[in-house]
Amino acid sequence: MKSMTGFGEGRCQTTGGTARVAVATVNHKTVSVQLRGDLRDLALEEQMREKLRIALVRGSANVQIQWEPTAVGGLDRERLAAAWRELAALARELGAPLPTLADALAVAGRCGNDAGAAVLPVLAALDEALARVEAARKREGAAISEALRGLAVRMRKLHARMSQVATGRLTLFRERLLTVVASAVGQAVPPEAIAREVALEAQRIDIGEELTRISAHLDALDRLLARQDAIGRELDFLAQELGREANTAGAKANDPALSELAISLKLAVDQLKEQSANVL
């Protein structure tokens, strides 16, 4: 099991410069990628997005890219002169003051930041960052897996207790009914009348089907937790189904002890839903 939350950094240094890439991921229904950095290379960005989509499967990724080109001694007089002429022509066209050498140097420096030299180092740094994100996701997933197994055990115990309480309710109802009727009427009541009332109550409060479905869903949960692939969407669906059955059982409970158990089960299911939102 893997979480959708993780962080990793990568660095690659070459003769052309140093690339640094940081990747932070959080939960998201699909893959969402946000790239931030100084480079403006659409082809490189698309390569990075493709790598991220394949590696992450699901999750929102915030990617920070830094490229520091290697400093080269001396001035490139030809590039500096060309930058000044271009700025001067624009200044005359706009009626603005002529540029200074500092202005031309700034433009020439930006032009000299060759994005092409950054492609391989940036991709290598991204690979390293993604490897660390993967390791972080696995660590987080292991912790979530342990928590989910604990929830599964708790829900099993609650289900067993609900089954026990539900089984004894009709006997208690029959005894209370006999006591109330004897006190109110003051005489014996025909057994068939008591049997009819008990049968009607049994139909109203029967949660046998809900308990059977809860048991089946808990079996499916155990099977999911034993798998190693992406199970987040299936976990979320299963949590919804468990919540639906717990709500129905609680609505039909008509018994304080059973109502309390149904509420405890719903709280456990809510925790399952919260955890499933972070699972890949």
pLDDT tens digits, 57-94: 889 999 999 988 775 545 567 777 888 888 888 888 88
pLDDT at 157: 94
Range of the domain at 102: 77-111
Considering only 4-18, 64-78, 92-106, 136-150, which range has the smallest mean pLDDT?
64-78
With respect to residue 151, please indicate whether it lies within any of the assigned structural domains. Answer: yes
Higher pLDDT, 98 or 207: 98
d(CA 215, CA 209): 10
d(CA 22, CA 3): 18
For range 33-61, the mean pLDDT: 89
| Pairing state between β 6-14 and 17-26 | antiparallel
pLDDT at 202: 54
d(CA 276, CA 280): 8
pLDDT at 186: 56
Burial zone of 259 (CB within 10 Å; 0-12 exposed, 13-18 middle, 19+ buried):
middle
Confidence of residue 208 (pLDDT cuts 50, 70, 90): confident
With respect to residue 172, please indicate whether it lies within any of the assigned structural domains. Answer: yes
Q: What share of the chain in percent tops pLDDT 90?
A: 36
- 2 Cβ neighbours under 8 A, 6+ residues apart: 134, 137, 138, 140, 141, 230, 279, 280
Q: Are 112 and 239 in contact (CB under 8 A)?
A: no
Are both 90 and 154 inside the same structural domain? no
With respect to residue 85, please indicate whether it lies within any of the assigned structural domains. Answer: yes
Task: Give the number of domains in the chain.
Answer: 3
Q: Are 254 and 272 in contact (CB under 8 A)?
A: no
Are both 193 and 264 inside the same structural domain? yes
pLDDT at 264: 93
Are both 92 and 208 inside the same structural domain? no
For helices 119-185 and 256-276, angle between their N-to-C axes, nearest 10 degrees: 170
With respect to residue 24, please indicate whether it lies within any of the assigned structural domains. Answer: yes
pLDDT tens digits, 181-205: 555 555 565 666 555 655 555 556 6
With respect to residue 159, please indicate whether it lies within any of the assigned structural domains. Answer: yes
Q: Is residue 100's pLDDT more than 80?
A: yes
Token code pair at residue 91: 């200044």
For range 113-126, the mean pLDDT: 79
Are both 247 and 196 inside the same structural domain? yes
- Closest by alpha carbon to 56, among 20, 23, 31? 31
Model-level pTM? 0.68
pLDDT at 241: 92
With respect to residue 1, please indicate whether it lies within any of the assigned structural domains. Answer: no
For range 86-112, the mean pLDDT: 77
For helices 191-205 and 119-185, angle between their N-to-C axes, nearest 10 degrees: 170
